[in-house]
């Protein structure tokens, strides 16, 4: 055994040794964000954060990992996708799987009973990566916690935020599918599903956006053990969808099976209020009441929703959320009702990248306003004096010092990079106390005294 340990340790050394063997790469399911992608990402985050701030949310951030125990019992069948850290002595840790559970943990830790917050950060899932699906990806979350609100008012605001996000990101036509956990449970009760099978049948129903009813029915009967009769009853109810007010009206009509179930009736009351608010806020046309929406996660207790692109079945959801009134209490014993939405941003990035490509303009990856070019060897010091004056005036500037013959190449580079201004100084200009000021967009050039350089550029560019 000691020999084995030595051998393992030797093998480890060799494996971990730093010899160049293959080109390194980011881990599977992750990616680097290139400067071009970062430019798009920052634009997207700017839009998203502005919507969140418009609704009075404050920002919050939590650690990338949590105590493993904090994540257990929250994600149902998806718990197996959680990344664990190695046990290196000390606490047992896991990477966060979403931003909702850390938010609930934060409220519990600090005994906060009332908070409207947003959180834009990465989460981690050991899922099979595919196009547009990563193991490390951003979520943009907006949540309202607290019991001081009138019924369905926070639920309304979260849905309003979701429609504003998708409208302002301008990434294509979408719809928000909406359902209610209590309504769903009522439906299962009506159909005769035993309570112990509710969550597992919900998981099956949740697949209806990707799979035909026949396949889901088969799973219910053959894997989850429902009778054919019960499954068929689910089938007749679950496939209803439509405009919220119209379908709700339908489901409330005399003779509707839903009127006989306490849970369904309570849920329809809440939905009625919610739909009234969405109508008052002119965003109800984005919402579809869809009885097949179930959502996999354990912690939802009320309204649930999911935004999808219209006309595509492949892409899946771009945002999802719902009410979770019991999650904070799972940590602290004291319930804090809460509702929220989470926007998965990777697909949004992809769409914005495509849009950007089709525009065929220069996508700037930096914001440089002025390129200082000093011609002649050993004049770096002069270039540094010039550019330092620009920096001191808070102008965004870079500098280079090249032999005169290389000027054309430097100008071409600056134009390609989208830099609007250039300061050029050769030995002649410098002797006379001048520099050349070149507008690279208009292709105009003037000679000005060196002392006027900063003021001239400030006048053209403007400083905040």
Span 200-259, contacts to its own copies by CB under 8 A: none
The verdict on 444 binding its own copies (CB under 8 A) reads no
Shortest separation between residue 420's beta carbon and its own copies, angstroms: 13
Span 69-128, contacts to its own copies by CB under 8 A: 69-70, 72-74, 83-88, 90-91, 93, 95, 105-106, 108-110, 115-117, 122, 124, 126
Q: Which of 6, 11, 61, 215 binds its own copies (CB under 8 A)?
A: 61
Q: Exposed e or buried b for every residue in 178-191, given b needs 16+ CB within 10 A? A: bbbbbbbbbbbbbb
Q: Looking at the DSSP assignment, which residues form a beta bridge with residue 152?
A: none
What is d(CA 300, CA 303) in angstroms, rounded to the nearest whole number? 8
Q: Which of 255, 333, 433, 462 binds its own copies (CB under 8 A)?
A: 333
The verdict on 147 binding its own copies (CB under 8 A) reads no
Going from the C-alpha of 124 to that of each of 78, 306, 317, 328, the distances in angstroms are 12, 20, 17, 21
Closest CA to 236 of 252, 253, 256, 219: 256
Q: Which of 1, 23, 403, 442 binds its own copies (CB under 8 A)?
A: 23
* Window of 207-215, 300-308, 352-360, 395-403 that interacts with its own copies by CB under 8 A: 395-403
The verdict on 406 binding its own copies (CB under 8 A) reads no
* Window of 22-30, 206-214, 307-315, 436-444 that interacts with its own copies by CB under 8 A: 22-30
The verdict on 58 binding its own copies (CB under 8 A) reads yes
Q: Which of 98, 136, 185, 290 binds its own copies (CB under 8 A)?
A: 136
Q: Which of 6, 114, 256, 366 binds its own copies (CB under 8 A)?
A: 366
Shortest separation between residue 73's beta carbon and its own copies, angstroms: 3
153-169 and 262-280 are packed helices; what angle lies between their axes, rounded to 10 degrees? 50
Going from the C-alpha of 206 to that of each of 80, 145, 203, 270, 453, the distances in angstroms are 18, 26, 5, 22, 65
* Window of 192-200, 201-209, 380-388, 425-433 that interacts with its own copies by CB under 8 A: 380-388
The verdict on 449 binding its own copies (CB under 8 A) reads no
Shortest separation between residue 20's beta carbon and its own copies, angstroms: 5
Helix (H, G, I), strand (E, B) or coil at 146: strand
Span 269-288, contacts to its own copies by CB under 8 A: 276-277, 280-282
What is d(CA 40, CA 364) in angstroms, rounded to the nearest whole number? 10
Q: Which of 215, 394, 409, 460 binds its own copies (CB under 8 A)?
A: 394
Helix (H, G, I), strand (E, B) or coil at 57: coil
Residues contacting 46, CB < 8 A, separation 6+: none
Going from the C-alpha of 415 to that of each of 360, 435, 445, 457, the distances in angstroms are 15, 19, 14, 17
CB nearer its own copies, residue 205 or residue 401:
401
What is the biggest distance separating any 2 CA atoms in the chain, rounded to whole angstroms? Answer: 96
The verdict on 55 binding its own copies (CB under 8 A) reads yes
Q: Can you list the positions of beta strands (E) in 300-346?
A: 303-309, 317-323, 338-344
User: Which phi and psi (to 5°) does residue 127 adopt?
Assistant: -95, 170
Span 184-203, contacts to its own copies by CB under 8 A: none
Shortest separation between residue 444's beta carbon and its own copies, angstroms: 23
Helix (H, G, I), strand (E, B) or coil at 75: coil
Shortest separation between residue 345's beta carbon and its own copies, angstroms: 13
Give the count of residues interacting with its own copies (CB under 8 A): 95
Residues contacting 436, CB < 8 A, separation 6+: 423, 424, 425, 429, 445, 446, 447, 448
What is d(CA 44, CA 31) in angstroms, rounded to the nearest whole number? 18
CB nearer its own copies, residue 237 or residue 407:
407
Centre a 10 Å sphere on the Cβ of residue 338 and count the other Cβ atoms it contains: 26
Q: Which of 384, 407, 448, 461 binds its own copies (CB under 8 A)?
A: 384
Q: Looking at the DSSP assignment, which residues form a beta bridge with residue 398?
A: 371
Shortest separation between residue 185's beta carbon and its own copies, angstroms: 20
Shortest separation between residue 49's beta carbon and its own copies, angstroms: 10
Shortest separation between residue 415's beta carbon and its own copies, angstroms: 15
Span 154-173, contacts to its own copies by CB under 8 A: 156, 160, 164
* Window of 19-27, 185-193, 288-296, 452-460 that interacts with its own copies by CB under 8 A: 19-27
């Amino acid at each position: 055994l000691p020999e084995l340990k030595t051998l393992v340790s030797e093998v480890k050394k060799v494996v971990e040794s730093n010899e160049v063997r293959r080109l390194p790469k980011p881990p599977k399911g992750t990616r680097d964000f290139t400067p071009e992608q970062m430019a798009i990402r920052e634009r997207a985050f700017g839009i998203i954060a502005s919507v969140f701030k418009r609704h009075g949310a404050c920002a919050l951030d939590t650690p990338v990992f949590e105590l493993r125990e904090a994540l257990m019992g929250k994600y149902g069948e998806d718990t197996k996708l959680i990344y664990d850290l190695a046990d290196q002595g000390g606490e047992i840790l896991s990477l966060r799987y979403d931003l909702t559970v850390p938010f609930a943990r934060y409220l519990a830790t600090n005994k906060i009973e009332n908070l409207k917050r947003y959180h834009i950060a990465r989460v981690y899932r050991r899922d099979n990566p595919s196009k547009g699906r990563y193991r490390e990806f951003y979520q943009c979350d907006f949540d309202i916690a607290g019991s001081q609100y009138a019924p369905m008012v926070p639920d309304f605001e979260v849905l309003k935020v979701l429609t504003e996000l998708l409208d302002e990101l301008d990434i294509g036509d979408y719809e928000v599918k909406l359902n209610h956990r209590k309504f769903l449970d009522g439906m299962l009760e009506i159909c005769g599903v035993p309570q112990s099978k509710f969550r597992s049948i919900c998981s099956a129903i949740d697949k209806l956006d990707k799979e035909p009813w026949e396949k889901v029915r088969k799973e219910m009967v053959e894997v989850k053990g429902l009778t054919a009769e019960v499954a068929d009853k689910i089938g007749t109810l679950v496939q209803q969808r439509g405009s919220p007010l119209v379908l709700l009206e339908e489901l409330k009509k005399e003779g509707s099976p839903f009127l006989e179930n306490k849970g369904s009736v309570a849920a329809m009351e809440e939905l009625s209020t919610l739909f009234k608010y969405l109508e008052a806020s002119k965003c109800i046309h984005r919402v579809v009441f869809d009885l097949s929406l179930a959502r996999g996660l354990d912690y939802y207790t009320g309204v649930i929703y999911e935004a999808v692109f219209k006309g595509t079945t492949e892409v899946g959801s771009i945002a999802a959320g719902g009410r979770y009134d019991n999650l904070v209490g799972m940590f602290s014993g004291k319930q804090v009702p809460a509702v929220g939405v989470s926007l998965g941003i990777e697909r949004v990035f992809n769409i914005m990248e495509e849009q950007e490509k089709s525009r065929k303009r220069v996508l700037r990856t930096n914001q440089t306003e002025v390129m200082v070019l000093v011609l002649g060897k050993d004049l770096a010091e002069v270039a540094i004096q010039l550019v330092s004056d620009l920096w001191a005036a808070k102008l965004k500037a870079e500098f280079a010092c090249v032999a005169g013959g290389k000027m054309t190449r430097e100008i071409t580079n600056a134009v390609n990079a989208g830099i609007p201004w250039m300061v050029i100084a050769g030995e002649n200009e410098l002797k006379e106390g001048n520099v050349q000021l070149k507008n690279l967009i208009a292709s105009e050039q003037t000679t000005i005294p060196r002392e006027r350089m900063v003021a001239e550029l400030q006048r053209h560019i403007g400083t905040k």
